[in-house]
Every structure is written in structure tokens, then in C-alpha cells.
Amino acid sequence: MIADSTLKQRVLDELRWDTKVDEAHIGVTATDGSVTLSGHVVLFPKKTAAVAAAKRVRGVTAIADEIEVHMLTEHRRDDSEIAEHIARLLEWNVSIPDSGVQAEVNNGHITLTGEVEWRSQRSRVAEQVQHIVGVKGLSNQITLKTRPTWANVKKEIQDALYRSSENQSKKIRVSVSGNKVTLDGEVRDIHQRDLVEDAVWSAQGVRYVIDNIRIAQ
């Protein structure tokens, strides 16, 4: 088990190293592998970048994201302005033909709903929306239409781990029920677990993932 003080320092170092993160007002605490990020940033993408950076640190088994977005005056937008921007973005997004995606904006917090064919489309919409000026938070509730198969899901995991030189696919167990995938097994760190999840979501038709993967201690 990594000492709490050591893990905290590793996370702080990773936040400083990542140029997408503004760590000046971010606090870090660590307890038995669980890391809490607190403080504030001026833009929502800075918040998501900080969480992503912490996930990459070896020894982090869980993250509590308590970072707030304290937006500068020049970045503030009315909900109606944000909604109009999202509508134009969805209209221009050629990767989602006849988009079935809807967005609700409440005090700068966006909830995305609807259905798309691929997980990559779901992720791309969220990635683009989070960079709209004025966004304070994002909940991505977009679902996928078709059903996955065990063979496709397993292949996506194996291919992703192979591309990333992470030879861990034999330690992952996959079960498929309808459009729900359940993952079991053990990986080295949160980053590797995210890699497996990303691979599963890349399989067409996956709508729900139950991740029971453990982080090795």
C-alpha cells in the first residue's frame, strides 16, 4: 500500500505536469488509495482535465471530484445562449446524422439525452459541448441503440489493450446480457480500468456497463 503522503504528492506532481490543468487552486487529499480533489477552476474543461490526470496516477483506486467551477465574468453565459450554441453544434455535427440528441441547460449545467449508434458519437458530443463557454457541468445520459455480442466486446478489449501495450486482457472477464456488459477481474490502476471500459463502450450496442474490476493493491 502506498503511503497517503506519497500518493498525494504523486497526484500533485501529475496535476502540475499536465498543461491542460490549472492546479493553482486545486487541493488534494489521499486516504488508503482514495483521492479527493477540491478547490476551484475557472473553466469546466480544467475540472475534467484534473480528474483525468489523477486517474493516471499509480495507486489511485477511487476519486472524489469536489472541484467547483468559479467562472470569470467574461466567460458567463445565459442558459439560452448555451442552448443555442449546443443546437448549432448538433446541427453541424456530421458524425451524428439526423441527430437524436437533446440538451437541457440549467444554470450552466448541461444534461444530454437521446440515442446514437456508437459510443464514439456519444463521447464526441460530450467532448464538444464541455468546451462551450459558460458550461459549468455536464451529465451525459445519451444511450446506444443496438445490442452488443460477447465476441465483439471481448475483441474490442483485447485490441485496445494490445494497442496500448497493456497485456492484461486474460485477467478481464466479460459477460453480456442484452445491451448490458458486466466486467470482472483485476487491473493495475484506474487508467487501465478506464482503458478496458473505453474498449467495451467501443463495441456497438453497449448501453450499460457494470464495472466490477478491482484495482491491484
- Selecting from 1.10.10.10, 3.30.1340.30, 3.65.10.10, 1.10.3720.10, what CATH number does the domain 73-144 have? 3.30.1340.30
* Alpha-carbon span 154 to 53, nearest angstrom: 27
Strands (E), the chain: 26-31, 34-41, 62-65, 68-69, 100-106, 109-116, 137-140, 143-144, 172-177, 180-187, 208-211, 214-215
Q: 175-213: per-residue pLDDT in tens?
A: 888 778 888 988 888 888 888 888 888 777 777 889 999
In this predicted model, what pLDDT tens digit does every residue of 120-136 receive, in sequence order?
A: 888 889 989 999 999 99
Where does the pLDDT of residue 150 fall: very low under 50, low under 70, confident under 90, or very high at 90 and above? low
pLDDT reported for residue 83: 94
Q: Output the CA angle 165-13-20, nearest 5 degrees.
A: 75
- Check if CATH label 3.30.470.10 holds for domain 150-215: no
CATH class of 4-69: alpha beta
Cβ-in-10-Å burial (0-12, 13-18, 19+) of 24 comes to exposed
d(CA 141, CA 129): 13
Confidence at 115, pLDDT banded by 50, 70, 90: confident
Q: Is pLDDT above 90 for 168?
A: no
Q: How confident is the model at residue 97 (pLDDT cuts 50, 70, 90)?
A: low
Domain ranges (residues) in the chain: 4-69, 73-144, 150-215
Question: What does the pLDDT read at residue 78?
Answer: 94
Q: Is the dihedral of CA 60, 203, 96, 109 positive or negative?
A: negative
